[in-house]
Structures are given as structure tokens and as C-alpha cells.
Amino acid sequence: MQGPAVDTVNLKLPEYFINRELSALEFNRRVLRQAQLPGTPLLERLKFLCIVSTNLDEFFEIRVSGLQQRRELGAPPQGPDMLTARQVLSEISAQAHALVGEQYRLLNDELIPALEAEGIRFIRRLRWTRAQREWLNDHFRREIEPVLSPVTLDPARPFPKLLNKSLNFIVGLRGVHAFGRPCQRAIVQAPRALPRLIQLDPALPDTGPNDFVFLSSVIHAFIDELFVGMDIRGCHQFRVTRNSDLYVDDEEEDDLMRTLEGELIASRYGAAVRLEVAHDCPAEHVEYLLQTLRLGEEDLYRVEGPVNLNRLIAVHQLAGREDLKDPPFTPGLPRSLVTADSVFAAIRKQDILLHHPYESFSPVLDLVSRAAQDPDVLAIKLTLYRTGPQSPIVDLLVRAAQAGKEVTVSIELRARFDEAANIALATRLQEAGAHVVYGVFGYKTHCKMMLVVRRENGRLRRYVHLGTGNYHTGTARIYTDYSLLSADPLLAEDVHHVFLQLTSLMQTPPLLRLHQAPFTLHERIIELIEAEIAAVQSGGTGHIIARMNSLVEPEVIRALYRASAAGVVIDLIVRGICCLRPGIPGVSDNIRVRSIVGRFLEHSRVYYFHAEGEEKLFCSSADWMDRNFFRRIELAFPITDSTIKARLIADLDLYLGDNELAWELAADGSWQRVTAAAGQPELSVQARLLRQLAESG
């Protein structure tokens, strides 16, 4: 449908944009829906429940804390939706309380009974047998009580510093302590070293192999042993979430690693942003905690169950019930790699596209491994954003450096929540003799690229890897991402120049294949959208398909609105945050937005433009967000091989046809589950791709 002339529409109206934070909460609601689906394996349902809690923790630590600071400063509206921080926080409180309430209802009313029916029990204190209680009391005295440090509060003992997201207890007391003063309250902190779930000894009478007790229940049951001679007037668990956003002034700090190490310590005790307490905690204790932490009622979350739901993820492994999990699978390998003499020979012959996790990440590791051993390889260069504290790829890079290769690694120390791991890895690489750079002040190095320089037949040849994901073997098994392995000289030349830029900070020549943020990527995306508009206005066809994690940047959204108003068909596959509002008459009638939420975390970034039949296709490390376009170093790389291009387009068609895992965004900002129409076969894109993997194997 073609609306009014595009230049007659005011595309800056706030009502054309969905608030970023509220869109993030909507994503968590979709994830929670996976935990509610009876067709999802039971332990996977529990896992999705835990993922929601982990996501909410980060949401409060970073996004809510920032909004609270803006509210305190009286800052004006920041986003294109023009909502004030106070308005957004009010809406977040309402929606987050409803979401958390649904989490605990699901846990208590559905998941715990269903798990118990399968022999996986969380045994409450009132149901402990005498033998279980005696075993737990002994366990408390041997394994728990020695590492607890209860702090009784009095004028000489101020409220202790509580570690971010740690498990704590507020204990009501009546009596006089050893030094003659009356006691009313105490705080007990549970060290993080203590597991939050305790597996009972199955040799005990009436105890099964998968019987668990919450640590909070054990501390509650035997709290009197910490306060001998006192009358215990209640023991209630609570947890404080703190501002964890690291602040680094690029203009003032001259040692990024040292500065971040200091900030990491400080962030554990940042300003409180949320208080979770047991549902039955007395009002006097709750009010005391709120006043002490300087929080309001809107920041209080009363929960009926453990305050740290994300720790229940341990059951996924401890229970050992593979029949209650997703069926296992073995990632495949492209035939070209299986039959080739070496990974170098395979890449020389043709570009290779890997679709993780359906296809293995091992060829990427194999490229580094072979390069480390090959006497003809002179240099290996690689960017690291997230790789995990125990990283196989870092092991290989260390081995290469020790073997005398020139190893250069650009490691992003400011990868959120991976800062400590990356500092440790950077130190290890430096000690092995690798050249390590810490990115660029003011910009996060988020692109994923590797360059291997090898001497062949008397001249140098370069091999590249470019990806949409990270060099992290763990996430490569659960995130969907694309990897491109290529020996294309033009592509390799571009990657070479970007590495020179990262190390020297000098300008690069114009890149021939790649588009790079913060320099050309945003401009290029706008140009490609405008070209689709021009094609439609000249009587041709316009079609855009974009798959990404988040769509936020307002200029790109306005360009998409102009394209829709001109008649361009736009299909957006956005896993998480989407600030574009589809279905606005005359503005976004031709835009459809869908989200796929399933077994694997959709992480790929793929951009398709019809380009008057030329069909331009790019994979990228960048979402369409302000930070990716302007505050990060990102790459978008073109797909030029016709076979690979056809494969990627076929994958996009599958995502657009999914009617099992897909959700569609409505104009009011709500998401509706997509279901198969009458007579239409059901299609889960993730199940179809797994089936294709099995058939090809």
C-alpha cells in the first residue's frame, strides 16, 4: 500500500517511536512465554525462566540505573519517543512487577509441581524429614556456618556494604548481646562461593537422587546457631541490585586497564536500584531496608520463592535428566572442509559460510590452530570482544605467539560484564609475547575479524574470517551466527587496513568491500534504503529484509518510514528491542516486524536489499543502534558468492515463514504470537535448520 507523498509526513513525531526500555521488557515477556509453553522440555522451561531473571538483572543494573540518574538530575527527554525518565521508570515499575509476579506464579504453580512429578524436588523446610534435617544441620555446621559473618546492627555497626546481587538475610532479634546492649536487627550475607542449591544425599531415607534444598532455607532453619542467647524474631532473605555501569573518562584516564580494574571493584557497591525481599518480610524490616538503601516503593519487589531465580539454572546440569532437555545434536561441517587437504586449501578454493550452531565453530579454531603450527604462516591478527574466561582461541593464540608468530590481538576491555575476564586474557597474551591493543578510546571494538598471513609460492596470501558473533566456543553452540572464511584479496586488503587502523590509529584508504562504523556504515545503510525508494518511484520493485538483535537508531527508522510510505516492502526480523512502530497509516503500512524466540538465541545480523534485481546482501557485527553506528568499531561485509547469497536468502525466507517461534509487532507496541493458518503446515525455522543438518549428515 502506498501512502501519501513521503515529504508530507512529519517523521519526527514521538508517537512514531516505541520506547527502548519498554521494548526490552517486551522481549523478556516473549522469553518468559517460552517457559510457559507445555511443548518446551521441562528443564528448558526452567532455563528460560532463569534467563528472564538474568536479563532483568542486567536491565536494572544498566538501563534502570541510568534512568534513575537522569530522573534525579531532572534531565530532559532523551529518545525520539520524548518520554521523560520519570515516565519511563513509572511504566517500567508497573510492567516489571507484573513480569516478576508471573515468573514466580509460573515457578510455584507449574514448574515446581511438574518437576516434582518427574522426581526433581525442591524440598521446603516444613517437609524435611528428621533424617534430612539432621543431615542438613550437619552440612550447615561443616560447609556453611564457617564462612558466614553475621553483623548485628547497632550505633557502632552501621549497615554493611552488600555486594551487588548477593543473597542476604535480615534477622529480627530480641535480647542483649555480649557487651550489654539490646539488639533488634542483624544482617547475614551468604558468600557467592556457597551454592544456592544443596543436593541431598540420596542415601537418606525418603530421599531421591534429585532432591534439592535452597541455601536460603538452610540458613533460615539454623539461623539461631549464629545468634546464641537471642530470641529470633524472623529471618528473611533479600537481594540488592546495584548500578553496574562502568564510568571511564577517556579524556582523563591514561591507563585503561588500571582504571577498569578500579571501576570493577567500585561497581560491586554502586548505588542501589532494586530491592527484592521475601514476600512475608515484615513491613518494619522492608521500610528499614528501603530507607537505608535510599529506594522507593516502586523499587521494591516482594517475591514468593528464592530471590535469585537465576541460580536455579544449576538444576539443568545437576539433575542429569537428558530426557527433560532439548535433544542433543552434533554441529555439521561443510563438505568442502571435510574433503580438503587443509583449511587453507578449502578457503583458497572458495568462500565458506558457516551457520552456527547448526554448523560447527571448529573450522575457525582449526584455522588458528593450523596457523599456529604452520611454518609458512607469518602473522595472525584477531579482535576479541567476548570469548569467555577459559578460551580455546586464546590458548591457540598463546601457542602461536610462543612459536614465534607475529600475533596481534585487539581486545575490548570494556565488553560489558566480561571486563574482568578480558583483562586477564589480555595479560596472558602479553606474557606470551603477543602484541595487544585495548581498542580505541571512546569507541568499543565490536567487529569480529581475523587475518592470517601465509607465505605461498614465494608471495604472501591472506586469509580472513569475518563473523556476526564472538570468538566464544560456548556461545557458538547456543547463538545463531554466521561466519565467513575467505581468501578474497580485496576483502583481505580491507581487513588488513582495519587492523592497521586499530593499532596505529591512522586513517585507512577507502575500503573496497567493507563498510565500517563509525565512518561509513550508517551512511551506507541510509543510501541503500534510499536506493530502494528510488527504484519504486521509478516504477520498479523495492524490498528490504533486515535481521538483527535491536533496531533503535532514529535516522534509520525514519529512512525505513520513508521507504514504506513510498511503497517499499520491508521485512524486519528483530530479536529484541525495536523502536520502530509498524502499521501506522501512510507511514509504516508496508513494514512487518517479527521476532524469533526459541531454543537458540538469534544473534545474526543480515541485511538484504533488492537493488533492482542485483540483490545486495551483507552480514555484520552491527545492530541498527546509535551505539553501533557511532560509538563502536563495526564491520558489514558483502556476500558476493552466488551460492552463499542464495543460501542466505533461503534462510531469510525461512525466518519470514516461521509460524511456531515467531512473534509479530503491532502498532501499539505489543507482540502477538504467530500461528499457522488453517491448512498451513507448521514451520519452526530452528527445527527446520536442525533437520536439514541431520539430513545432510
Active-site residues, by number, are 446
Q: At 255, which amino acid appears?
A: D
Instruction: Compute the distance between CA of residue 606 and CA of residue 617 in angstroms, rounded to an integer.
Output: 7
Q: Which residue has the cell 533437520?
A: 691
Q: What is the DSSP string of 364-397?
A: HHHHHHHHHH-TTEEEEEEEES---SS-HHHHHH
Instruction: Compute the distance between CA of residue 45 and CA of residue 34 in angstroms, rounded to an integer.
Output: 7
Rg (CA), the chain: 27
Q: At 622, which amino acid appears?
A: A
Length of the chain: 697
Count of Cβ atoms closer than 10 Å to residue 53 Cβ: 21
- HSE, CB side, 13 Å, CA atoms: give it for residue 417: 9
Instruction: Compute the distance between CA of residue 149 and CA of residue 169 in angstroms, rounded to an integer.
Output: 11
The phi and psi torsions of 456 (rounded to 5 degrees) equal: -135, 125
DSSP bridge pairs for 39: none
- HSE, CB side, 13 Å, CA atoms: give it for residue 354: 28
Report how far Cα 146 is from the mean position of its chain's Cα atoms. 36
Residues 6+ apart with CB under 8 A from 121: 115, 208, 210, 211, 212
Q: Which residue has the cell 508497573?
A: 94
| Among candidate residues 650, 642, 588, the one with its CA nearest the CA of residue 614 | 642
Instruction: Compute the distance between CA of residue 646 and CA of residue 640 in angstroms, rounded to an integer.
Output: 10
Residue 426 and residue 460 in contact, taking contact as beta carbons nearer than 8 Å: no
Instruction: Compute the distance between CA of residue 56 and CA of residue 50 in angstroms, rounded to an integer.
Output: 10
Per DSSP (E only), the strands in 567-679 are 569-574, 591-596, 601-602, 606-609, 616-620, 632-638, 662-665, 671-673
Count of Cβ atoms closer than 10 Å to residue 212 Cβ: 22
Instruction: Compute the distance between CA of residue 312 and CA of residue 50 in angstroms, rounded to an integer.
Output: 7
